[in-house]
Amino acid sequence: MVVEGDRIAWVGSEGAADSFADGVDDVLHLEDALVTPAFTDAHVHTTATGLALTGLDLSTAATLADALERVAAHAAARRADRVLLGTGWDATAWPEQRHPTRAELDAATGGRPLYLTRVDVHSALVTTAMLELVPGVTGLDGYGPDAPLTGAAHHAVRAAAHGSLTTAQRTEAQRAALDRAASLGIGSVHECGGPDISSEDDFTGLLRLTAGSDGPRVIGYWAEPVTSAKDAARIRDLGAVGAAGDLFADGSLGSHTAHLHAPYDDAPHGHGAAHLDADAVAAHVAACTEAGLQAGFHAIGDAALTAVTGGVLRAAERLGADRVRAARHRIEHAEMLHEDHIAAFAAHALTASVQPAFDAAWGGEHGMYARRLGTARARTLNPYAALLRAGVPLALGSDSPVTPLDPWGTVRAAAFHRTAEHRISARAAFAAHTRGGWRAAGRDDAGTLVPGAPADYAVWRTGELVVQAPDTRVANWSTDPRSGTPGLPDLTPGVPLPVCLRTAVAGRTVYTRPNE
């Protein structure tokens, strides 16, 4: 492969490459390493990811007691912080099966303000001192005397907590997240910001930080409703490519806030939270379509997906289906899909921006999904094979820090879905995590190693290359060498994942593994 400037100039056989040797500035001998397009993570919260990497992350806490000890140690180590920040707790994974009480957190922090998000980032625990920084929070929807905050109460406290960050803290966190991404062969991330998630300063600061710098590309989405051309212009002025990402139609399953048609199994009177109805969805999609702007929504529960697909249909009836399809609107997460939802995605060319690591973390017969929904409903979640059969474009991501940046692990999770009928081939998942992310952002010329494409690539140390398919009917032909199907690293669970040796973005090396 020959790279000229920021583009791939030529790809061919080793013998033919010798003719270029005298005219290039640098030659990289691979020594049996694998070269692939760089990954695109299609759903990231960059600052929150960096804060988890550099601060308090409870995702590996084994027990409630372990979590409280980590909170106390973090408080002791960060005495200068006005507000202590943390993430990653998941009481469903602890033997105690309960979250810390406010009194326990008050004691662990010595009475200091603490904002501690659940692993899904849709609810949070706080200390008494944190509540005192947000006047009126106890009167907002989603407040409970000793329950995790959700809804408006959570958003108000989150704004106060993140508002305590200095510019230096925010920049440190963003750099840490992007450095981690580069070290994992990720060349692009889709930043999913919005007024209910982060601040405009955080969003625009991240875009300024990465503009023209050596590191992963950041493609920004700002999740704010659009109802006019003026609204759309404001989104563009922020530097966003779309009014999409986490524009919430509902919440999350773990926090009991995803909007369901039937009640939760472990909360029989609860259907979750509906944040947008079909009329609001239609207004947003129509205004974005008319402005030539990508629209999108966060939708997890089946009722939320009914509202979103119903709203898209109304917009298509008003503007014409072709105009709506051409805009490439996208839906984040799209977990609890029924057949009619999938048909609507296909009919309106909606991209499903999905996170296979969710299934790896919470799927299966005894996982969190089964506890929340019952085994039968849980088994229907994240039907990637059905989406691909219907022709729905997929873009894979992590929703980091909800699940870690881990591209090969994400491909593995899709290929070895806990529900066998939802599995897709490793190659299909790989394409969705490389080219799929670019297509989700409206670019068809990237995510592959062909002449003219952006020179975003990664070099890997890996074992034998194989063809992995989820179904023997596919494997019978695709694994035959005569099929010409290219191999990928063996992603069988338990086999070590590839190690990134080098990442390049726009032809510039942005990561080199030490001592390689």
Digit-coded pLDDT (tens) for 158-198: 899 988 888 988 999 999 999 999 999 999 999 999 998 88
Rounded to an integer, what distance in angstroms lies between the CA atom of residue 313 and that of residue 298? 17
Q: What is the mean pLDDT of residues 208-223?
A: 94
Residue 259 in this model has a pLDDT that exceeds 80: yes
Q: What is the mean pLDDT of residues 114-137?
A: 94
- Joined together, the tokens standing for residue 19 give 């003719």
pLDDT of residue 8: 96
Digit-coded pLDDT (tens) for 475-511: 555 666 666 678 899 999 999 999 999 999 999 999 9
Residue 300 in this model has a pLDDT that exceeds 90: yes
What percent of the chain is modeled with pLDDT above 90? 84
C-beta of residue 430 within 8 angstroms of C-beta of residue 465: no
Rounded to an integer, what distance in angstroms lies between the CA atom of residue 67 and that of residue 323? 50
Digit-coded pLDDT (tens) for 74-96: 999 999 899 999 999 999 989 99
Residue 473 in this model has a pLDDT that exceeds 80: no
Considering the chain, what is the average pLDDT of its residues?
94
The CA-based diameter of the chain, rounded to the nearest angstrom, is: 73
Q: How confident is the model at residue 212 (pLDDT cuts 50, 70, 90)?
A: confident
Digit-coded pLDDT (tens) for 222-258: 999 999 999 999 999 999 999 999 999 999 999 999 9
Digit-coded pLDDT (tens) for 356-407: 999 999 999 999 999 999 999 999 999 999 999 999 999 999 999 999 999 9
Residue 489 preceded by cis peptide, ω within 30: no
Residue 272 in this model has a pLDDT that exceeds 60: yes
Q: What is the mean pLDDT of residues 352-357?
A: 98
Please list the helix, strand and coil fractions of the chain in percent, rounded to the nearest 5, in that order.
40, 20, 40
Residue 420: alpha-carbon gap to chain centroid? 23
Give per-residue burial for 181-219: e unless 16+ CB within 10 Å, then b: bbbbbbbbbbbbbbebbbbeebbbbbbebbeeeebbbbb
pLDDT of residue 69: 97
Q: Detail the DSSP E strand segments found in 217-363.
A: 217-222, 242-243, 294-299, 330-333, 351-354
pLDDT of residue 472: 66
Task: Name every residue whose Cβ is closer than 8 Å to that of residue 253 and which is 6 or more positions away in sequence.
Answer: 120, 300, 301, 335, 362, 368, 369, 372, 373
| DSSP for residue 186 | E
| DSSP for residue 215 | S
C-beta of residue 65 within 8 angstroms of C-beta of residue 36: no
Rounded to an integer, what distance in angstroms lies between the CA atom of residue 454 and that of residue 400? 25
Quote the pTM value.
0.92
- Joined together, the tokens standing for residue 258 give 């995803």
Rounded to an integer, what distance in angstroms lies between the CA atom of residue 369 and that of residue 363? 6
